[in-house]
Copies of this chain bind each other. A is one copy, B any other.
Amino acid sequence: MSKAKYVSLAVIRRLPKYYRYLGELMNSDVDRISSVELGKQIGFTSSQIRQDLSCFGEFGQQGYGYNVADLYHEINCILGLSKQYNVVIIGAGNIGQAVANYHGFNKMGYSIAALFDKNPKVVGINIKDIEIRDIDTLDEYLINNEAHIGVICVPSNNAQDVCDILIRNNIKAIWNFAPIDLSAPDDITIENVHLADSLFILTYLSNTKLIG
């Protein structure tokens, strides 16, 4: 980790894919890999892989390639996965519960600290040993507990309100599942998961493939 140079979003969006493939290679007991071979597996050019990695440092060795475990660890650090994050989920419907139940996240240093919902019928129920709290207590909770990531799983019409609460309690990272674009100051990072958009794109592409 180093090299104080601007890294384009296109590169960053490929990092998780490198991380995933390197993890699979480790599971298959592969020790080393060249950019050509990794490119074949991922479906990128070897140039792109070397270009991408060079944004963050020099991780390879001429004539040898990359050490899989080392590179995996480097990308882990670049992504910031070596740290611990407290996550609060707002909205305990299907998507909120899906995120809360996703085993992988806990293993990777994301700890679900609290779950909130508006519906009195679910408040008090436990999901994965975490009690669902009343959404009206979100503000108070955040005043008393440090949280790093807020996950918005409420309907569109409540999403901006929830976002505002998170922001005023100093949360800088928001993972938004509501089908709306939230407004927030520049220092806040918002990553959207717009499921409907994704389904529409699938629909378009599958229809046009049949023709063209």
Contacts and interface: CB of A to CB of B under 8 A. Distances in A.
Interface of A: 4, 6, 12-13, 15-17, 19-20, 42-43, 78-81, 83, 85, 93-95, 97-99, 101-102, 104-105, 108, 110, 148-149, 172-175, 179-181, 187, 189, 191, 193-207, 209-210, 212
Nearest to A102: B195
Contacts of A105: 196, 199
User: Chain copies in the assembly?
Assistant: 2
B209 A189 contact: yes
B199 A175 contact: yes
Contact of A200 (B16, B83, B98): B16
Given A197-B16, A199-B105, A206 B173 contact: yes
Contacts of A81: 200, 203
Chain A, interface SS category: helix
A210 B80 CA distance: 13
A102 B93 CA distance: 10
A179 B209 contact: no
Contacts of A43: 181
Contacts of A212: 4, 6
A16 B201 contact: yes
Given A97-B94, A101-B94, A206-B173, A200 B15 contact: yes
B17 A80 contact: no
Contact of A175 (B6, B179, B202): B202
B172 A204 contact: no
A102 B177 CA distance: 12
